[in-house]
Copies of this chain bind each other. A is one copy, B any other.
Amino acid sequence: MAEKITSRAVDYSQWYIDIVLNAKLADYSPVKGCMVVRPRGYAIWERIQAEYDRRFKETGHQNAYFPLLIPMSFLKKEAEHVEGFAPELAVVTHGGGEELEEPLVIRPTSETIIWSKYKDWIQSWRDLPLLYNQWCSVLRWEKRTRLFLRTAEFLWQEGHTAHETEKDAVEETMRMLDVYREVAERHLCLPVIAGRKSDAEKFAGAVATYCIEAMMQDRKALQAGTSHFLGQNFGKAFEVQFQTRDGGLDYAWATSWGLSTRLIGAIIMTHSDDKGLVLPPSLAQEQAVIVPIYKTDTKSAVLDYAARMEASLKDAGIRVVTDTDDTSSPGWKFAEWEMRGVPVRIEAGPRDMEAGKAVLVRRDTGEKTVIAASEAAVRVRELLDAIQKNLYERAKAFRLANTRDVSDYEEMKAFYGKAGEENEGTATARGGFARALWCGSRECEAKLKAETKVTLRCMPLDDQDHIEGKCALCGSPAKFRAIFARNY
């Protein structure tokens, strides 16, 4: 299998698709633009869900479920919202054999249907906050799609909260951004930059959009989650008024925040290599695979030996399988399990058995260690922890090594090279994250994007001190420090 994977240096996009298909994470759908998430991909999503869901509940949120179908008229109630989503809608015109009086759209996001219900549930400040989340799929018609990264239908969660005050809503927006960052870093091993989007890149209907941005191995940015402060835009559009503590009336303040199966794409593109998938141990369906090596005369003894190791690992809570398939060679198995991204391989043959030993091989570095079989559970656990840590550190070092302070437009263009250069689309393409001062003008951003395909990813929250100097794009006085990159 492994030889089917295109090298990153040759074609990064093809390498990515090769991994998704060969590791059986996802597949194309008969309906253009949609995808099938296969069991090995869905198992990753279930672990991502579990970690985020736990944190959502710890921060006071409850899950709910709102209808898939939204009346077209609802979207039109918030002017920017409908403008942003109208071109991407899938429209249901017939139901039960009859033409509908009003067309319904499949939710591209659920602000409108949820706020239409919040109107019924919110009368007084005592009803606030409402801290709801839902796990579901949404649909945004897309022409150019890529498995996990951009598909018409995708799985996600969307949090929708209603608050008494602006301050509460802003705090919620930032709290959930931080939950996004924390789980991404700890469990997905994705170092991310938390920042604010420019007005040009913000969510349709938001006052402000915040995001976490990660760097892929081809040095492009990937937006891994967004948290929106919606002000009173939806409160007003859906007339969600409540009695305030002092007896007045006010519109509820809103946030929404979402992340999706796109994260699986980010994990693949951050950690994997030319042998295949590399997965953080916390997300791997199998954290370790035992490959017993034997001939006919040693088979039974080696399999017993492997089974005892497997039992000891399972007792220690490690997700482990033993590959006892007799129709393929150990070498083939090594390549196969490497392609699938299993973090630790355990090899054990007759001589290992006689010595009471086994060989551990790390998926991330390829490093081999001989261990005593009696210590297997402890040593594998240590190795899983080390891999989890290393994947994060390695990705962070990569990002730092590929981030450059840029002070003027010439330098910016030189850093990225021209769009369409020879090695564009490979892992050796130029560019990365440019850290630069910015004046805040939409025109500067638009010009840069048009000329270089580079976009303003975010204004990092922890890097807005000492803004002194000129905008790196136009030379006007700077107001912000921003991260620029080409992006997914």
Binding site for B on A (CB under 8 A): 27, 29-31, 34-39, 42-43, 45-46, 62-71, 74, 86-97, 103-104, 106, 113, 116-117, 120, 132, 136-137, 139, 141-143, 152-153, 155
Minimal Cβ-Cβ distance residue in B for A65:
B37
Contacts of A132 in B (CB 8 A): 39
Given contacts A34-B69, A39-B62, A96-B142, 15 further A-B contacts (CB under 8 A): A29-B117, A30-B74, A31-B67, A31-B69, A34-B67, A36-B65, A36-B67, A42-B65, A45-B65, A67-B153, A68-B137, A86-B97, A90-B95, A93-B93, A95-B141
A117–B70 Cα distance when bound, in Å, is 29
CB within 8 Å for A64 and B91 given contacts A69-B153, A96-B141, A106-B106: no
Minimal Cβ-Cβ distance residue in B for A45:
B65
- Give the Cβ gap from A138 to chain B, nearest Cβ, in Å: 10
Going nearest first, the 8 A-B pairs with the smallest beta carbon separation are: A96-B141, A39-B62, A34-B67, A37-B65, A91-B94, A95-B141, A90-B95, A29-B67
- Give the Cβ gap from A299 to chain B, nearest Cβ, in Å: 21
Q: Are the C-beta atoms of A113 and B69 separated by less than 8 Å?
A: no
Q: Are the C-beta atoms of A31 and B96 separated by less than 8 Å?
A: no
- Give the Cβ gap from A170 to chain B, nearest Cβ, in Å: 24
CB within 8 Å for A64 and B89 given contacts A117-B27, A141-B96: no
Q: Are the C-beta atoms of A96 and B137 separated by less than 8 Å?
A: no
Choice from B62, B88, B95, B116 contacting A30 with Cβ under 8 Å: B116
Q: Are the C-beta atoms of B34 and A96 separated by less than 8 Å?
A: no
- Give the Cβ gap from A323 to chain B, nearest Cβ, in Å: 15
A95–B90 Cα distance when bound, in Å, is 4
- Give the Cβ gap from A103 to chain B, nearest Cβ, in Å: 8
A142–B42 Cα distance when bound, in Å, is 31
Q: Are the C-beta atoms of A70 and B31 separated by less than 8 Å?
A: yes
Contacts of A42 in B (CB 8 A): 62-65
Contacts of A64 in B (CB 8 A): 36-39, 42
Q: Are the C-beta atoms of B71 and A31 separated by less than 8 Å?
A: yes
A139–B67 Cα distance when bound, in Å, is 10
- Give the Cβ gap from A77 to chain B, nearest Cβ, in Å: 12
Q: Are the C-beta atoms of A90 and B92 separated by less than 8 Å?
A: yes
Q: Are the C-beta atoms of A88 and B93 separated by less than 8 Å?
A: no
- Give the Cβ gap from A200 to chain B, nearest Cβ, in Å: 22
Contacts of A139 in B (CB 8 A): 68-69
Minimal Cβ-Cβ distance residue in B for A154:
B65
A69–B89 Cα distance when bound, in Å, is 13
Contacts of A34 in B (CB 8 A): 67-69
Contacts of A103 in B (CB 8 A): 94
Contacts of A141 in B (CB 8 A): 95-97
Counting chain B CB atoms within 10 Å of each CB, the highest count among A87, A106, A155 belongs to A106
Contacts of A143 in B (CB 8 A): 96
Contacts of A87 in B (CB 8 A): 96-97
- Give the Cβ gap from A109 to chain B, nearest Cβ, in Å: 15
A37–B90 Cα distance when bound, in Å, is 23
A-B contact pairs, 14 of them (CB 8 A): A27-B120, A29-B117, A30-B74, A31-B69, A31-B71, A34-B67, A36-B64, A39-B63, A45-B65, A88-B96, A89-B96, A90-B94, A90-B96, A91-B94
Q: Are the C-beta atoms of B36 and A66 separated by less than 8 Å?
A: yes
Counting chain B CB atoms within 10 Å of each CB, the highest count among A62, A90, A104 belongs to A90
Contacts of A86 in B (CB 8 A): 97
Minimal Cβ-Cβ distance residue in B for A94:
B91
Contacts of A92 in B (CB 8 A): 90-93, 106
- Give the Cβ gap from A30 to chain B, nearest Cβ, in Å: 5
- Give the Cβ gap from A278 to chain B, nearest Cβ, in Å: 22
Minimal Cβ-Cβ distance residue in B for A96:
B141
